[in-house]
Amino acid sequence: MELNWLGVIAALATFLSIWLGHVGVRKIEARSPTIWLPTMIVLALGLAFEIGALLTSSIGLSAALGITGMILLWDALEFSRQQKRVQKGHAPANPKNLRHARILATYPSATTIDWLNRQPGNNSLTPKIDDPSSQENIR
């Protein structure tokens, strides 16, 4: 019997796009001076992928572009959501980024600590800091 690879293509597009967005949004939001610029670039990229999905006659390519494009469009929204997490202290602020430095000065809940970067069951609320240079920035 002939194997149908469309499911594997769809699975790879889904998993890899989520992974890329999950890591990429955090890294870019932490470094970018503004959030509107990455938002606009990723929005345009997502729309371009969807146009590509419409124009191709290949069903596999259409699925891969369609899925990746939709996840990119979601990622465009995530830049704003990520900034809110930084304001709440649920994601670490990067003091070298002027926008984040302003957040640290304005929002008492903002912190440079990455609370998620630990194993479950480690309940002490004094975090282990790997980078000694970040010690001075703990609030």
Partner 1 sequence: MNLFGLAIGFIALAIIGLGFFWVIRGEYYFGVLWWPYILGFGLLLILSSLFIASVWGSALLGIVGASLAWGSTELKDQSRRAELGWYPVNQKPKPQPPLANKIKKLKAPNL
Query: What residues line the site for partner 1 (CB under 8 A)?
Result: 1, 3-15, 18-19, 22-23, 50, 53-57, 59, 61-71, 74, 90, 115-116, 118-121, 123
User: Would you state the structure tokens that stand for residue 127, as one six-digit string?
Assistant: 């975090």
Choice between 31 and 88, CB closer to partner 1 = 88
DSSP 47-82: HHHHHHHHH---HHHHHHHHHHHHHHHHHHHHHHHH
Choice between 33 and 108, CB closer to partner 1 = 108
Choice between 69 and 92, CB closer to partner 1 = 69
Shortest distance in whole angstroms from residue 70 CB to partner 1? 4
Shortest distance in whole angstroms from residue 8 CB to partner 1? 6
Shortest distance in whole angstroms from residue 33 CB to partner 1? 27
List CB contacts of 86: < 8 A, sequence separation 6 or more.
29, 92, 93, 100, 103, 110
Shortest distance in whole angstroms from residue 38 CB to partner 1? 20
* Spatial distance between the Cα atoms of 123 and 121, rounded to a whole number of angstroms: 6
Choice between 8 and 98, CB closer to partner 1 = 8
* Spatial distance between the Cα atoms of 49 and 34, rounded to a whole number of angstroms: 24
